[in-house]
Structure 1
Amino acid sequence: MYQIIVLYGVPTDSEAFDQYYKDVHIPLVQKMPHLKSFSVSEGPITIIGGGGPYYRIALLGYEDLKSLEDLNRPRFPRHSPGSLRNAFQTLPVTADC
């Protein structure tokens, strides 16, 4: 199993972030081709050894490397620039693959 790990910094407005994430972002993620698993943390995040602070951690699971490579294809449901700007303008986002 291959995973994409997305670390979300602490938003200025957590209620607005949560609402947007639930109503807009999660439905888009669930349409991603070849997605085998998807989970999002809830509650406080503690990282042993330091790091953070993080508000949410999302894990996207894929069966193989080819599935991940397919994400670069045009059929991948991408966010519009305005959609991303609305969601993430107030928080740092780090994506690790």
Structure 2
Amino acid sequence: MTVPPEEPSATPPPAGGLIQSYRVDGRKLTLTFWGGVCADYRATAAESGDRVTVRIVAPEPEPGEVCIDLAKELTESVALDERLGDRRVVDAQTGTEVPAGR
């Protein structure tokens, strides 16, 4: 019996969580993540002495709203109260540390 090849997915799987990486410029923290093409995302951050816990938030779609099931790499920024310094950036959804990126 021949098994047909798997169709390639148009949605890349998140590696280790929704948020893939971050970059910082002064007090501006920019998060890179995979998200749907129809959502209007925003980033939030909760700061403490040793970490900044970040989350990507998207509103619930309107009832009956139709959107293709396709993801793309996106960025959203959030202003920090203080510079990041030595604090870790942690994904609120997974509890894992977000790596610094591009």
TM norm structure 1: 0.29
- Bigger radius of gyration: 2
Give the number of the structure with larger relative contact order, counting CA–CA contacts within 8 Å between residues 6 or more apart.
1
User: Would you tell me which structure has more helix in proportion to its own residues?
Assistant: 1
User: Would you tell me which structure has more strand in proportion to its own residues?
Assistant: 2
TM norm structure 2: 0.28
